[in-house]
Amino acid sequence: MCGKLYVVATPIGNLADFSFRAIETLKQVDLIAAEDTRHIIMLLQHYGISKPLISLHQHNEEHASKGLIERMQQGQSIALVSDAGTPLLSDPGLPLVKLCKQSGIDVVPIPGACALIAALSASGLPVSRFSFEGFLPRTSSARKTFFQSKLLETSTWVFYESSHRIQATLEDLAEVFPSEHPIAVAREMTKIHETILQDSLVSILERVKNEENMRKGEFVVIVGGVPDKHEDELVSEEQRRILELLMQECSIKTAVALAVEITGQRKKILYQLALEIQETKAG
């Protein structure tokens, strides 16, 4: 009989966030495939687990996965773990899981810690619908292009960011989205210096700029969606004309701000209209 692949979530910081089932699974499998064997061995030692380890990371997983499939076809069971959290979520493992599916090998999830879900649950932003975008592009221009594509997103969206780019990424976001747009930033989830902020984009950006600790650690950034437009939030033809004229000469943020001053209309309504005008022109 074939063995099984167990996809095991590990703690993202606090070692106590490890389930009894996960511990028992790692004790019972024949082999543990880890993103970094040097990292995972500390967790195994903490729980008195001694099992053979093999490295499975982004640079070798295509080749190494084939060997692991052969082991499972011979009857061995294998646990897949990442450095922290749930494997495959911006971590290695997909090629192995796909090969298991193609080979008829059972894949068993052992759920547990996940920075994405933990941050969402404490963010204070709507979570009934959300999308996960992983890590964003490294260049500023590519990030801004991505942010432009999210301007009309009505549901919450989430991405991971590193300490090296968190300030630059929020600055790029602030060039595309209005300063009062709601976001949340969570850093060092479940660790000693865990911080979860929910405020306007401009307020959180200022915190990141002014507080050194807010540029340290691993980050989850959560961006609220654009509110759906209600029937009672109607814009007159004159207000629309003024906004369109301003958008020909200014950025969306500036055009909306000026249109609010001129027309007295609510900023949220004009911002939503500006996004609709921009999408129409782009299409």
Q: Name the residue ranges covered by the structural domains of the chain.
A: 5-113, 116-223, 237-282
- Mean pLDDT across the stretch 109-137? 96
Residue 231: predicted pLDDT: 40
Q: 3-class DSSP state for residue 5?
A: strand
Would you state the CATH architecture of domain 5-113?
3-Layer(aba) Sandwich (3.40)
Q: What is the CA radius of gyration of the chain?
A: 23
Give the distance between the most distant pair of CA atoms in the chain: 75
Residue type, 12: I
Measure the CA dihedral 101/105/109/115, to 10°.
-50
The Cα 149–Cα 170 span in angstroms is 16
Q: Which tokens is 33 given?
A: 């495939």
Task: Report the percentage of the chain scoring pLDDT > 70.
Answer: 97
Token pair 């996940």 is at which residue? 114
Q: Which of 35-49, 97-111, 166-180, 227-241 has the lowest mean pLDDT?
A: 227-241
Beta-carbon contacts of 35 under 8 Å, excluding residues fewer than 6 positions away, are 55, 56, 57, 81, 82, 83, 87, 91, 92
pLDDT value at 281 more than 90: no
Q: What is the pLDDT of residues 229-257, one digit of tens each?
A: 544 456 888 889 999 999 999 999 999 99
Would you state the CATH architecture of domain 116-223?
2-Layer Sandwich (3.30)
Q: Among candidates 31, 50, 40, which has minimal Cα distance to 87?
A: 40
Residue 171: predicted pLDDT: 98
Q: Report DSSP letters for 104-117, one per residue.
A: T--EEEE----HHH
Q: Which tokens is 211 given?
A: 């507080």
Residue 229: predicted pLDDT: 55
**Confidence band for 151, pLDDT divided at 50, 70 and 90:** confident
Q: What is the pLDDT of residues 177-215, one digit of tens each?
A: 989 999 999 999 999 999 999 999 999 999 999 999 999
The Cα 67–Cα 224 span in angstroms is 43
Q: What is the pLDDT of residues 210-232, one digit of tens each?
A: 999 999 999 999 999 987 654 44
pLDDT value at 269 more than 90: no
Given CA atoms 254, 257, 259, 261 in this order, what sign does their dihedral have?
negative
- Mean pLDDT across the stretch 141-151? 93
Q: 3-class DSSP state for residue 256?
A: helix
Beta-carbon contacts of 249 under 8 Å, excluding residues fewer than 6 positions away, are 255
